Amino acid sequence: MEPVPGRLTSLSFFLLSTLNMDHSDMGSMGNGSTNTTADSMSMMMMMVPYLHFTKGDAVLFKSITPSSAGAIFGTCLIFFLFAVLERWLHAYRRGVEFRFVQRSRQLESQLFVHGEKSKEEPLDCCDPPASKFILTHELSRALLTGSTTTLHYLLMLVAMTFNASYIISIILGSIVGEFAFGRLYRR
């Protein structure tokens, strides 16, 4: 297929746009002007791509930048507690799922007392839980999934600051949370 003269192809459009971006700052370099305050602020707010213990990283929001030792300790403590909360929510969800299975089996046994199944016939322990739609079960499951996903993403965004103190506090919180709540509702 021959390109139509006077018409930009996707490759030529890409090349022109990259050339335009490469030379967009050339005007300020030629006249000897200094960087503006906005340029220096954007350089300061740039994410450091390696593990560090430096102060002043923005945490989740631009306005939250702990810069003193006490503020960083408080921030680490909050992230520690968030990680413990995440492990507790994980254990709580296992317990809720366990109760949902028990409740579904109880409802199933009540439904089949007068039906084709007899009450004396035991329910097999290895059968998958009944997939009946129970509104309260599904809403609870959806809310728990949403809250754990939100916590996961918030902790991931904090870890993406590459601040080693934040990452260490999240890891320690996960360890303590699993130690405290990991045994609950295990089969």
CB 58 within 8 A of CB 161: yes
- pLDDT of 22 reads 43
Average pLDDT over residues 94-104: 89
- pLDDT of 134 reads 85
Tell whether the model's pLDDT for residue 185 goes beyond 60.
yes
CB 54 within 8 A of CB 165: no
Q: How many CB atoms lie within 10 A of CB 144?
A: 16
User: Could you read off the pLDDT of 137-178 as tens digits, one per residue?
Assistant: 999 999 999 999 999 999 999 999 999 999 999 999 999 999
Decide: helix, strand or coil at residue 61.
strand
CB 86 within 8 A of CB 170: no
Tell whether the model's pLDDT for residue 36 goes beyond 60.
no
Kindly list the domain boundaries of the chain, sorted by start residue.
69-181
User: Could you read off the pLDDT of 38-92 as tens digits, one per residue?
Assistant: 554 554 556 788 999 999 899 999 999 999 999 999 999 999 999 999 999 999 9
Question: Which pTM does this prediction carry?
Answer: 0.66
128, 79, 78: which is closest to 105 by C-alpha? 128
35, 51, 52: which is closest to 43 by C-alpha? 35
**What is the rounded distance in angstroms from the CA atom of residue 20 to the CA atom of residue 123?**
70
User: Could you read off the pLDDT of 2-31 as tens digits, one per residue?
Assistant: 555 555 454 444 444 444 444 444 444 445
* Those residues with Cβ within 8 angstroms of residue 102's Cβ, 6 or more apart along the chain or in another chain: none
Tell whether the model's pLDDT for residue 93 goes beyond 80.
yes
Structure-token pair, residue 96? 């809720």
**What is the rounded distance in angstroms from the CA atom of residue 139 to the CA atom of residue 145?**
10
User: ∠ CA(103), CA(84), CA(49), 5° rounding?
Assistant: 130
Comparing 173 with 136, the larger pLDDT belongs to 173
**What is the rounded distance in angstroms from the CA atom of residue 98 to the CA atom of residue 114?**
26
- pLDDT of 45 reads 55
